[in-house]
Amino acid sequence: MNIWESPPFAARAAPVLWTPTATTGERFVSLILVQFQSPNRGEIATPIAFHPKQLRAMIGAKRAESALGIMQHVAEFMQQQMIAGADFDQVVAPYDGFDVGTTTSIKGYSAKQVVDTAIRTLSAFGTRSYFEDDEEQVQRDSVPTRQFLRSLRSVFAQNDDERRSRFNRTIEVAGAAGMTIDYAHDKHLIQVTSLPQTAPHLAALQKEAESKILELDITASILRSNAPAQSALLINTAALNTAKTKEASQIANELLARLRFMSGQKGIDLRLVRDPFQAAQILEELEVSHGLTNA
């Protein structure tokens, strides 16, 4: 690479400012909107400006958990709008107190460098370690599913440590390597996946969903030999609900039809959820049902 050449990666970026408490007027950059102009025009990123450890050190573990859940939900909500074609000045948040700031241009020699520069440029407290940690880990979930699960855990568990412990459970079966289940409580085993937003997302999300169905089927089958087990697949339908074109709807429906068939063949209950709040309501209903059964 010729160091005298112009950096090949270019993007527009804008901070998303959050005022958590209107009475104090305190305001900070919570996340960044990034839209690449080259080399892959139209690619979107909505990174959180804070590393979780950094936020916990600043405001404490419980408040940080709540704040991260809110910011992650806002990031996913805004990302969906941008993928659907909304410009920065058209993007809105699902909650009051969030505003999009001034747009700036960012260049770099990689997509990671562009995002890192955007955070450090637009946020006084931004840290690049957030992305280093995120990329170094082997991610089990796609970005939309990971953000959805984080928001779901924040909404459902809040400050309840016992509820929080039900998520991302590793269950040992038949002495083999443990199977990871997104949510496990009593007899209920639940996996979470998402529908694709664009054609390039289809292959990755299909692989994610099919892997989770396999894990769910194996775990439930073995556990049923000793105790009742009920398995379910929650599908985040945000991509379908926000689809603006016929092609986008077709892509999402293509995977949904496949997952309906596979779930039916395996006896897995398939539940469609439009957002983490609806998913949390399902978990609440299962918990209440369990309590009534044991009463």
128: pLDDT strictly greater than 50 = no
pLDDT of residue 12: 94
pLDDT digits (tens, 9 = 90+) for 39-48: 878 788 898 8
- Lowest-pLDDT choice from 172-176, 183-187, 197-201, 266-270: 172-176
| CATH code linked to domain 143-294 | 3.40.50.10130
Query: How would residue 183 be classed by pLDDT, with cut points 50, 70 and 90?
Result: very high
Query: How would residue 125 be classed by pLDDT, with cut points 50, 70 and 90?
Result: low
pLDDT of residue 126: 63
The whole-number average pLDDT for the span 45-67 is 82
If one counts every other C-beta atom within 10 angstroms of the C-beta of residue 221, the result is: 14
Mean pLDDT computed over every residue of the chain: 83
- Lowest-pLDDT choice from 42-56, 130-144, 149-163, 241-255: 130-144
The whole-number average pLDDT for the span 113-137 is 64
pLDDT of residue 176: 56
Q: What percent of the chain has pLDDT over 70?
A: 89
Structure tokens at 130: 């957030």
The whole-number average pLDDT for the span 97-112 is 89
Length of the chain: 295
Contact 75, 31 (CB under 8 A): yes
25: pLDDT strictly greater than 90 = no
105: pLDDT strictly greater than 90 = yes
Where do the CATH 3.40.50.10130 domains begin and end in the chain? Answer: 143-294
> For the whole prediction, is pTM greater than 0.85?
no
